[in-house]
Amino acid sequence: MSQEGVLSIVSSSGSSIKATMWFGPMRAKESSIWLLHLLNHQGFLERCSFKQNTQGRIKLKLELKKRLDWEQVLTNTKLSVVSLITRTENLSGD
């Protein structure tokens, strides 16, 4: 099983990249934040789905359009999500 909150590239071929992420019950909100940030990049997120298992873990499956800057887009997205989560937790006192 993948590490929680880490994007794992499943395959990279042709014009698309398939990736998955797992989130535990305490970090489930982070999956939605990832999706929102990826949607900010026009035409980058081609498909997505998520499933929640009986323990509350969420598996996020993504299909991304392969483009020259795809690695940079994912790096920037990760930094944005981490920053947003950290600021939110600091404001709420978690």
- pLDDT tens digits for range 14-68: 899 999 999 888 887 788 888 888 888 888 999 999 899 898 889 999 999 999 9
The pLDDT, as a whole number, for residue 48 is 92
Torsion of CA 33, 35, 38, 40, to 10 degrees: -80
pLDDT at 46: 93
**pLDDT value for 62:** 92
What pTM was computed for the model? Answer: 0.77
Can you give the pLDDT at residue 1?
A: 52
Residue 2 has pLDDT above 70, yes or no: no
Q: What is the pLDDT of residue 83?
A: 87
